[in-house]
Amino acid sequence: MRKAVYPGSFDPITLGHLDVIKRAAKLFDEVVVAVAHNDAKQPLFTSAERVDLIRSSLAEENLTNVRVDAFNGLLVEYAIKQGATALVRGLRAISDFEFEFQMALMNRKIQPDLETIFLMPKEEYSYISSRMIKEVSRLNGDISAFVSPKVADALEQKFRP
Ligand code: PNS
């Protein structure tokens, strides 16, 4: 059984992330979408909220081989415990490459049994990021083209309760 972990902050999940999940689900028998607690990044949503938003964004996709979880600590240790052989990361543009390259090589050095694979989301999502979506939403801009309706509602609640 081929299992992959798709890790990230997902603060919050975007349509770009969803697109990567769908692509990964076609390639692997099981995909675990793994939310990093990452308190150092001071996320807008708690990890429990991020997990819920991923689950609700996935609800209409009918992906039976995708599971959502949260983890603390080293990603590679978590992935091995899950029985994964691969890490999935989305690559939007060349600007992502340097960080992703460093992370993939560092992870491979610590855990040579895990391979990192990169998937490119649809071009129309290549410029969106959780960070930008939060900024646009905070400033009352329309982010409905970039996130699921549940995430759009959750952002509205955070910024204009
Ligand atoms: O969505 P992000 O913020 O780009 O995801 C980064 C993430 C969560 C994958 C990365 O920060 C991570 O793996 N964190 C867990 C701690 C860890 O293993 N760090 C070493 C990475 S080389």
Q: What digits encode the pLDDT tens for the residues 50-59?
A: 999 999 999 9
The C-alpha atoms of residue 158 and residue 49 are separated, in whole angstroms, by 11
pTM value is 0.97
Q: Is 74 in the pocket of ligand 1 (CB under 6 A)?
A: yes
The C-alpha atoms of residue 151 and residue 161 are separated, in whole angstroms, by 14
Strand intervals (E) in 9-156: 30-36, 66-71, 86-90, 115-119
CA geometry: angle 95, 96, 98, nearest 5 deg? 85
pLDDT, mean of residues 121-130: 95
The C-alpha atoms of residue 72 and residue 144 are separated, in whole angstroms, by 31
Question: In the CATH scheme, what is the homologous superfamily, with its name and number, of domain 3-159?
Answer: HUPs (3.40.50.620)
| 13's tokens | 């999940």
Terminal-residue alpha carbon distance, the chain: 45
Domain ranges within the chain, ordered by starting residue: 3-159
Instruction: Tell me the β-bridge partners of 36.
Output: 71
Q: Which of 9, 37, 102, 133 to mutate to test the pocket of ligand 1 (most atoms within 8 A of CB)?
A: 9
- The answer, yes or no, to whether residue 130 has pLDDT greater than 90, is yes
Backbone dihedral angles phi then psi of residue 50, each to the nearest 5 degrees? -65, -40
- The answer, yes or no, to whether residue 82 has pLDDT greater than 90, is yes
Q: Is 70 in the pocket of ligand 1 (CB under 6 A)?
A: no
- What integer pLDDT is reported at residue 40 of this predicted model? 80
